[in-house]
Structure 1
Amino acid sequence: MDDIIRDGHPVLRQTAAEVSLPASEEDKKILKELMEYVKNSQNPEIAAELGLRPGIGLAAPQINVSKRMIAVHVTDEKGEVFSYALFNPKIISHSVEQAFLSTGEGCLSVDEQHGGYVPRHARVTVKGVDGAGNEVKIRLKGLPAIVFQHEIDHLNGILFYDHIDKENPMKIPENAIMI
């Protein structure tokens, strides 16, 4: 599956539809494929063989499916793996404190470089439903929190560079931790 759509495609700017639960077999299959893509893209041999760009998260709109589904497979600074594929993920609470990646953010749907800091919440709590139909509530901080916010933005038609300060892209967000 390398049918990732690129910046400029109208689906990337749409608000994705809620997934009806219990999820259909088709929706479960899409959710599973999102996670397989992310995991395969992180395996150098498979990524090279399939021509995949490495990614740590993917949202259904990026494969031209305008539905609220995301897959994240990321390791935090302590080596803990956060691997979740969720239907209808929502941020139910967040910190006032901000965070941003020192390297800026990238996206599998955005080919050109957009330099600049992307302010995000330093901590978020996300609720969603996993592929087996169980409700999941995850407390996140650091890189995993940023990745979940990035993917959930895709469900709302927002791309990471929309958050970059146009006047001063390298302006360090107030009250923010650099990651």
Structure 2
Amino acid sequence: MIGMKDIIREGHPSLRKRAEEVEFPLSEADRKLSEELMEYVMNSQNPEKSEKYGLRPGIGLAAPQVDQLKRMFALHIMEEEQDPISFVAINPRIISHSVEKTYLVTGEGCLSVDRDVEGFVPRYARITVKAFDPEGKEYKLRLKGLPAIAFQHELDHLNGIMFYDHIDPKNPYREIPGAIPLDRA
């Protein structure tokens, strides 16, 4: 089981490297990794398990964050009045996106960053993505709102990019032209 001790923190060189494509069929180690990434995000959102295992809540976790340079991440998002979104994405890519941007009003956080980083992170408001599940089946999803933001955040991890790389360092709360603010409060 992945715990907080397994998640590398900012400054670790693996967080700045591009992850490698994953080959199918998955090796036993890659299958286990995909299961453990999903297990972490699900457990971290369960108050009892989160407290029992000392997990910081997260909606996504990418393989590079546990020092595995593989193009794989898990997302688990339970929002009120929305269908739950829960999947492992292997070799994911964005195949199209809106011109329109969005950002979280509260800013983004990251399990690999132990500090609050203030500022708006511009993201595409809507994306269409393709990825493979652990069985090797390709799937296509259209995402918007928080799931679209989270997908882009995790995809950045596979490319060695941290969320705060997108924040304007001179003016972190600079208005993003034409963007729709997303407030999760």
Q: What is the alpha-carbon distance in structure 2 between the residues aligned to residue 168 and residue 135 of structure 1?
A: 40
Q: Which residue of 2 aligns with 1:107?
A: 110
1:8 Cα offset (Å): 0.3
Shift of 1:77: 5.7
**Greater shift in the superposed pair: 36-45 or 124-133:** 124-133
Residue aligned with 2:14, SS: helix
Determine whether 1:7 maps to 2:40: no
List gaps (5 residues or longer) in structure 2.
Answer: none
Please tell me whether residue 132 in structure 1 is matched to residue 135 in structure 2: yes
Identity of aligned residues (%): 60
TM-score (norm 2): 0.94
Assess if the C-alpha contact under 8 Å between 1:92 and 1:125 holds in 2.
Answer: yes
Map 1:119-158; keep pairs closer than 5 Å. 119-158=122-161
Structure-2 residue corresponding to 1:37: 40
When normalised by structure 1's length, the TM-score is: 0.98
Residues 33-68 of structure 1 deviation map (CA, whole Å, 9 limit, x = unaligned): 000000000000000000000000000000000000
Residue among 63, 67, 77 paired with 1:64: 67
Gapped regions of structure 1 (runs ≥ 5): none
- Partners of 2:176 and 2:55 lie apart in 1 by 32
| Alpha carbons 1:94, 1:124 under 8 Å: kept | yes
- Given the alignment, which residue of 52, 66, 83 partners 1:49? 52
Superposed CA RMSD in Å reads 0.9
Please list the CA deviations of residues 71-100 of structure 1 after superposition, one character each: whole Å capped at 9, or x if unmatched. 000134632111010210111111100000
1:178 maps to what in 2? 181
User: Equivalent residues in 2 for 1:10-21 (5 A)?
Assistant: 10-21=13-24
| Other-structure match for 1:28 | 31
Q: Which SS does the other structure have where 1:110 is aligned?
A: coil
Matched residue pairs, number? 179
